[in-house]
Structure 1
Amino acid sequence: MSQQAKPAFASSIRWQSANVVTQVVLQLIFIVILARLISKADFGLMSIALVVVGFVEIFAQIGIGPSLIQREKLAPEQIRAAFSFSVFLGGVFFLLTYALAPAIGDWFESMELTQVLRWIALSFILSSLALIPRSLLIRNMAFKTLFVASLVSMVIGNLVIGLGLAYAGFGVWSYVAALLCQNALLGVMYWIMKPTEARGSWKFASWRILGAMLSYGGRATVYNLLNYASSKVDTVLVGHHAQNSSTNIHNAISGGTEGWTTTGLYDRSAYLMSLPISVLGKLGDSVLFSGMSSIQSDKLALQTVLKRALGLIAWLTFPGSLALIWFSGDVAALLLGEPYAEAEPVVRILFIGVAFRSMIKLADALIRAVDALNIAIIIKSVFLVGLTISAWAALTNDWGIEGVAWSVTAWTMIQFLCLGWWTLRAAQWKFEKALKAMIPGIKGLAFAAISMGLLKMGFHQLQGALDSIPSPFALHLIHAALATISVLFALTISAIMHPEVLDGGDVELRNQWTAYLPIALQKRIR
């Protein structure tokens, strides 16, 4: 019987951080180039297709992957049964999506969406084949292996095949091909580098043995479904309203692309907001979830992990979020191209929620690790219903996608307060200690605000003294440089004042990372 690995956090976080950062950087490179090769309408169409597929995929897995990771003891028969059940569900939901694609296309008034959905539905089969080895690799915290698999699949699938087809003029289909190729390559890599527990998992075992796993997995599925729906309902409502709005006078003339253009603009704004959250979310879904699952009964150990994770998240996201809000238009123009600069108001509003969403990811990992899904399901349900009503009200009252963005941000704050309250209770952690853990981030926020204000004021004075006016692109780059300098300055000063945010108070580790600093600074930190 397989015993769950103890949390080797230092090594795990290093490799998974490298994995996540690499994924985000490669995906960003892919999107930055792709945004200049395909239209906003193509992005809008693909965003709705991905929402539908992502929604169905949660049902297709029924929490099997998280169940394999979360269980303290795992029998070979359970692994074999999980594999055959996963493949069966993958096939069923492929056929279901294929059959329902025309109805979904009709709801969005798009025949092309039907074809895109039918092709992307193949990802259910590919994901079901890869689910077991991937889950076991996460369970064993084999993040170096996951890093290699992700690197190979993203370079070949996205950068080579996806961008190659986009350059050749295949539009939205280049995105479809990139997704399917990446999933296929991931599956092959996972099986090539599979852990020993995965050997023989293709042999059939009775599904009756999955009872206990499906009990947890069923609740995990409901929770993941609510989580996913909450993150995508705004995009779906924008897409449906834009495609069916009677006020969109250009929609019928342009063959429906005007509505997809609005959807693409909003979806890419949401994508920019999700970039920093993706890093923390993927770390939470792997390192924190796996690690906290193995210490779920040790409240003191959980408090220690929460303290370090919350401190690090606050330290990184508080000053970073301020920079994103301050220079949101420059971020949109640099990453997606000048045509997306018009998304500045939406991007700025959504960036307000970055820090709150990042801390919600920490609560999500704890919820799944200690199997406290019932209360979390209630919180997520309230969030989803509230967001749906307010976002639809914004659209029907002609408040536009800015109104939707304000709805998302407001309900994100409400969700943060509810999950924060639950986290403190579940870990038996005092509010004062949680607030103390965030002090490095709060100080970093203050330093970043002062630095950005002074630098921007100085630049404007310099600009006024010069005869020439920088080009829009040069101006975006200058603003990005000011933001980067300010954030790095804030992170450095707050880390010097609170070195525990980097090393958790480990004296030996602190001696290692401070060895390269000037002697005077070493004495100050140590």
Structure 2
Amino acid sequence: MAETLKEKTAKGLFWGAMNNGAMQVIGLVFGIVLGRLLSPSDYGMIAMITVFSLIANALQNSGFITAITNIKEPTDNDYNSVFWFNISVGGFLYLVLFLCAPLIAGYYHTPALVPLCRYAFLSLLFSSLCTAQSAYLFKHMMVKQRAQSGIIATLFSSVVGVIMAFCGMSYWALATQTIVYSIVNTALFWHYSPWRPSLRFDFEPIRRMFKFSCKLLASTITTHINNNVLNILLGHYFTAHDTGNYNQASQWNFKAYSVIQGMVDSVAQPVLVDLREQPGRQLEALRKLIRFTSFISFPLMLGFGMVAREFIVLAITEKWLASAFLLQILCVSGAIIPMSQLMSSLVVSNGKSGTYFGVTFALGVVQILTMILIWHWGIRTMVIAYVLLNIIWLFVWQYFSRRLIGYRVWMFLKDILPFALAALAVMTATYFATQSIHNLWLLLLCRILMAVVLYYLVMRIAGAAILKECMAFVKKKMGKK
């Protein structure tokens, strides 16, 4: 049983890596093209309304994907109830947002947001059609199928977005890209999931799951607000151009850290749920996931921060230079966010959705109050404060992990510090060793190559067990081919 779970976890991580790696490569290519074709104000327009779409999607999902995953053996009736509930809620929420569009535009003092809101929020209707299918794929750890759906949907929607941007359709291109993604992803989830709905309307499973899922719902909404708090406040206090510059930095930061977060998220909760009756094994599994995450996250994000200026200028031109410094700051939080997510998954997997909500809500309150108090000092100060708060909350999650399964501070630091210090030393050495290079293309290439080689050598000399395991698994997969 243990070997089966281990193999499923390894395969899940592999396909999670394939999925997120491919999607981020696609996002990189098309993000560069769109960044060159569109202006900061175009991105700012979309950034100002993104949080409303995210909250609506959270309300429509209502935490039932996670709730079903936490059920040992969900029935057909469980999936069917979720399916019809989500369609009903999705339609209702779109109607509410359609009517509230003038209020959203009034908050941002931008009348053009009214038609944009009513168009962009259509994605909610399409995504509501696949929540049950998504829950089925997630519960059964069908990571490969989810990966293929995401890659195809991202590629297709990105092509549509670029064509529209090239035709001069500004922020409408970004809105359409999201809608097309929802349509294609929904169609593919239906294709890969063998489960099909029936016309039986029984909402008893919804009532049964809601006690657990409602706390996750509230937590998800709070998380979306936390992640977009700067977009919300910048759009109100500053201009669409300023919001767009921050949003560009935030998007690139997200593209980078979601490579590792998406990979680990695809297996973390199902694995931790399977082991929740065995705290010792659950602790061992969490620590291994934390080490694996640290092994990749710290060099990836600190390295990205090191080359942020060169990357921004070369990829999307100097018109986005203001976002480069913001990206460098955000990369610090990007390095630790996947670890916070892992420990929050542990809390949820142990049925503590109330704790999950409380910790997330507290972060949201502190962030909003902090940003309102310091916005007079400018965007950079707000971004620095945002990063510091995320670092503090990493240890808040660790505290609750200790209470649940005995994951003590010294264990946590032992798991992350070797990789954090090694990555910091490598990036520092690389930065100063390449300072004399003035050609931006050569500088970018040299920094990337030097950092990769140095980090690999440090891990090899240190005899990092996680490096050996990763290489052994990759060789095994290549050997099968």
- Whether the 8 Å CA contact 2:343–2:401 is kept in 1: the answer is yes
- Decide whether the 8 Å contact of 1:444 with 1:490 is kept in 2: no
The aligned residue for residue 247 of structure 1 is none
Q: In the TM superposition, what is the alpha-carbon distance from 1:512 to its structure 2 partner?
A: 5.5
Shift of 1:443: 4.8
Distance 1:330 1:189 in 2: 37
DSSP 3-state at the match of 1:36: helix
Partner of 1:79: 79
2:422 corresponding residue in structure 1:
444
Question: How many residues get paired?
Answer: 474
Equivalent in the alignment of 2:454: 490
Matched, 1:336 2:316: yes
Aligned pairs (5 A) from 1:65-144: 65-144=65-144
User: What is the letter of the counterpart of residue 73 of structure 1?
Assistant: E
Alpha carbons of structure 1 residues 512 and 498: separation in structure 2 relative to 1, 3 Å: farther
Structure 2: which amino acid aligns with 1:65?
Answer: I
Cα distance in 2 between the residues matched to 1:272 and 1:478: 21
- Write the distance in 2 (CA, Å) between the matches of 1:262 and 1:93: 30
User: Is 1:174 matched up with 2:138?
Assistant: no
CA distance in 2, matches of 1:433, 1:512: 30
Separation of aligned partners in 2, 1:511 and 1:281: 23
Answer yes or no: is the 8 Å Cα contact 2:48–2:231 preserved in 1.
yes
Aligned to 2:14: 14
* Closer/same/farther in 2, CA of residues 80 and 116 from structure 1, 3 Å limit: same
Distance 1:214 1:514, change over 3 A: closer
Task: Give secondary structure in 2 for the equivalent of 1:88.
Answer: helix
Q: Are the aligned partners of 1:59 and 1:221 in contact in 2 as well (CA < 8 Å)?
A: yes
Question: Structure 1 residues 333 and 418, CA, compared in 2 at 3 Å: closer, same or farther?
Answer: same
Instruction: Decide whether the 8 Å contact of 2:27 with 2:255 is kept in 1.
Output: no
Equivalent in the alignment of 2:233: 237
Cα offsets for 1:297-325 (capped at 9, x unmatched): 22122122212211122222223333333
- SS of equivalent residue, structure 2 residue 228: helix
1:211 paired to 2:207: yes
- Residues 24, 279 of structure 1: 8 Å contact kept: yes
How many angstroms apart in 2 are the aligned matches of 1:163 and 1:453?
Answer: 34
Residues 435-474 of structure 1: pairs in structure 2 closer than 5 A: 435-449=413-427, 451-457=429-435, 460=436, 474=439
Given residue 214 of structure 2, which amino acid in structure 1 is its aligned partner?
Answer: G
CA contact (8 A) 1:322 1:448 kept: no
Letter in 1 for 2:225: A
Give the whole-Å Cα distance in 2 for the aligned partners of 1:191 and 1:379: 35
Corresponding residue to 1:423 among 401, 404, 421: 401
- Offset of residue 204 of structure 1: 2.2
Describe the shift of the 1:54–1:285 C-alpha distance in structure 2 as closer, same or farther (beyond 3 A): same
1:235 & 1:27 partners in 2: Cα distance?
A: 20
What TM-score results when the alignment is normalised by the length of structure 2? Answer: 0.92
CA apart distance, 1:434: 2.5
User: Structure 1 residue 151: deviation in Å?
Assistant: 2.1
Trace 1:397-412 onto structure 2 (pairs within 5 A). Answer: 397=376, 399-412=377-390
SS at match of 1:73: coil
Larger radius of gyration, structure 1 or 2?
1
Residue 499 of structure 1 deviates from its aligned partner by 3.6
Structure 1 unaligned regions, length at least 5 = 243-258, 464-469, 516-526
CA root-mean-square deviation = 2.3
Q: Which amino acid aligns with 1:29?
A: V
CA shift digits 1:51-85 (9 cap, x unpaired)? 21112221122112221222112111111111111
Deviation at 1:509, TM superposition (A): 5.3
User: What is the CA-CA distance between 1:98 and the residue it aligns to?
Assistant: 0.7
- Residues 494 and 443 (structure 1), Cα distance of their counterparts in 2 relative to 1, 3 Å cut: farther
Q: Distance in 2 between matches of 1:117 and 1:103?
A: 11
Per the alignment, do residues 181 and 320 of structure 1 end up closer, same or farther by CA in structure 2, a change over 3 Å counting? closer
The one-letter amino acid of 1:263's match is: T
**Is the 2:257–2:297 contact (alpha carbons within 8 Å) kept by the matching residues of 1?**
no
- The partner residue of 1:275 within 233, 243, 255 is 255
Q: How far does residue 135 in structure 1 lie from its aligned partner after superposition?
A: 1.4
Distance 2:383 2:474 in 1: 42
Within-5 A mapping of 1:221-370? 221-242=217-238, 259-370=239-350
Preserved contact between residue 15 and residue 263 of structure 2 (Cα < 8 Å):
no
Change in 2 beyond 3 A, CA 1:184/1:514: closer
Q: Which deviates more, 487-496 or 86-95? A: 487-496
What whole-Å deviation, never above 9, does each CA across 1:379-436 have from its counterpart, x for those lacking one? 22221111112212222x2x11111101201211121121122223222223333322
User: What amino acid is aligned across from residue 207 of structure 1 in structure 2?
Assistant: F
Q: Does the 8 A contact of 1:226 with 1:381 survive in 2?
A: yes
TM-score, scaled to structure 1: 0.85
Aligned to 1:382: 362
Pick closer, same or farther for the CA change 1:511–1:190 going to 2, 3 Å: closer
What is the deviation of 1:513? 9.3
1:166-204 CA-to-partner distances (Å, cap 9, x unmatched) read 111111111111111111111111111213xx13x2422
Q: CA deviation at 1:504?
A: 5.0
User: Does the residue aligned with 1:74 lie in a helix, a strand or coil?
Assistant: coil
CA contact (8 A) 1:126 1:187 kept: yes
> Which structure has the highest helix share of the two?
2
Asked if structure 2 preserves the Cα contact closer than 8 Å seen for 1:292 and 1:369, the reply is yes
Q: How has the CA–CA distance of structure 1 residues 446 and 410 changed in structure 2, closer, same or farther, with 3 Å as cutoff?
A: closer
Q: Equivalent residue of 2:36, what SS?
A: coil
Comparing 60-69 with 38-47, greater Cα deviation is found at: 60-69
Amino acid at match of 2:116: V
Q: Which residue of 2 aligns with 1:251?
A: none
Kept after mapping to 2: 8 A contact 1:15/1:147: yes
Following the alignment from structure 1 to structure 2, what is the Cα–Cα distance between the partners of residues 510 and 105? 50
Offset, 1:96: 0.8
Cα distance in 1 between the residues matched to 2:92 and 2:403: 40
**How far apart are residue 231 of structure 1 and its match?**
0.6
Pair 1:502-2:467 in alignment:
yes
Distance 2:330 2:431 in 1: 21
Is residue 444 of structure 2 the alignment partner of residue 480 of structure 1? yes
Kindly indicate whether the alpha-carbon contact (under 8 Å) linking 2:68 and 2:135 is maintained by their aligned counterparts in 1: yes
Distance 1:262 1:38 in 2: 14
Distance in 1 between residues matched to 2:63 and 2:428, nearest whole Å:
46
Change (3 A) 1:422 1:498: farther
- The separation in 2 between residues aligned to 1:70 and 1:428, in whole angstroms, is 22
Letter in 1 for 2:189: Y
Which string of whole-angstrom CA distances, capped at 9 and with x for unpartnered residues, describes residues 75-127 of structure 1?
11111111111111111111111111111111112222111111122112111
2:301–2:334: 8 Å Cα contact kept in structure 1? yes
CA distance in 1, matches of 2:182, 2:277: 36
